Amino acid sequence: MQYIANPDRYQKMEYRRCGNSGLKLPAISLGLWHNFGQIDSYENARNILQVAFDNGITHFDLANNYGPPAGSAEENFGKIFKQDFIPYRDELVISTKAGWGMWDGPYGDWGSKKYLVASLDQSLKRMGLDYVDIFYHHRPDPETPLEETMGTLDLMVRQGKALYVGISSYEPEEAAKAFEILKKLGTPCLIHQPRYSMFDRWVEDGLLDLLQEEKVGCISFSPLAQGLLTNKYLKGIPEGSRAARNRGNGAIEEGQVSEERINKVLQLNEVALERGQNLAQMALAWILKDQRITSVLVGVSKSEQLLDSIRCIENYSFTNEELNRINNILK
């Protein structure tokens, strides 16, 4: 059956300007890190993407190594795009990244020009796209000159393979240097994608201030601490959960679900319930309360979770009392 998008999709979402650019992003964006690979249900992935777009989520975020296996999330997205989203291409913001290990040998990782150019070409082919809206360097490379990596991002825009560029997981000092190089090249950095949640607040130590000063957007990944900030982990690790499935592959690990953490989650849950939200909604709202944040990236395994997350935009204002309580819990 042919997919036809919900005509009211833009009534349901809030859009925020991304830094000093003409681009707006939805407050909630969809990340395809998990649940879109070869090992996952194709029909479920397709349903999640349709529900996302039907509810005003215009931004889909990928990377070359998403899967598993690496590359398969882009392949599946490409099939779904061809099946459902070609008529809506100009309404979508599609991003991908390179910077983690993708293929064997010295040219399949980090930040060399050789790797980034080849990787984006492969990503475009897998997704069946002429260009991506945003191309990110996925993590800093301690050995490649930053001028080479940023010069390659600039090249991607000049070649028409990306409209905008961004960086991910750069510390404030590295980010400031990257911004300066890109500005001189004439392709300013659009956006930074850091990990940020109630349990992981490193961006508050200078990065958010830098982004505001440089007028660069911010989209946070892992805002629910890989599922810790949901009702799912209130009683430890449930069988079949992401923590149980993905021990040691870069997702949540069992050690993160300590008794102390669970105790904090229980207390945060009480605050959320008093606010008329569930824990996940409050955790997302807590990030979106900061106007320096352009969007939060959510990853879901079913469309119901996505619909639940979107409701966080109904209330992201906090009283001082609530913020103090949350800070005391998180200490």
Check residue 239 and give its pLDDT.
65
- Contact (Cβ atoms closer than 8 angstroms) between residue 151 and residue 144: no
Long-range pairs for 312-315 at CB < 8 Å and ≥24 separation? 312/28, 312/277, 312/280, 312/281, 312/282, 312/284, 312/285, 312/288, 313/13, 313/14, 313/27, 313/28, 313/285, 313/288, 315/275, 315/276, 315/277, 315/285
Check residue 184 and give its pLDDT.
98
CA pair distance 227, 231, nearest whole angstrom: 8
In terms of phi and psi (left: phi > 0; alpha: psi -120 to 50; beta: otherwise), the region of 250 is left
CA pair distance 321, 13, nearest whole angstrom: 28
CA dihedral (240, 241, 244, 245) in degrees, to 10, reads 70
Report which DSSP code applies to 130. Answer: S
Which domains are delineated in the chain?
14-330 (3.20.20.100)
Distances in whole angstroms, Cα of residue 161 to Cα of each of 18, 86, 157, 181: 20, 17, 6, 20
Say if residue 69 is preceded by a cis peptide, omega within 30 of 0: yes
- CB atoms inside a 10 Å sphere around CB 301: 18
Distances in whole angstroms, Cα of residue 177 to Cα of each of 150, 174, 259: 10, 5, 40
CA pair distance 94, 63, nearest whole angstrom: 10
Placement of tokens 């949901």 in the chain? 230
What is the residue-level pLDDT of the chain in tens, covering all 331 positions? 899 999 999 998 999 999 999 999 999 999 999 999 999 999 999 999 999 999 999 999 999 999 999 999 999 999 999 999 999 999 999 999 999 999 999 999 999 999 999 999 999 999 999 999 999 999 999 999 999 999 999 999 999 999 999 999 999 999 999 999 999 999 999 999 999 999 999 999 999 999 999 999 999 999 999 999 999 877 766 666 655 555 444 455 556 778 889 999 999 999 999 999 999 999 999 999 999 999 999 999 999 999 999 999 999 999 999 999 999 999 9
Angle 42-54/72-80 helices, nearest 10 degrees? 60
Q: Which regions of 235-305 does DSSP assign to beta strands (E)?
A: 295-298
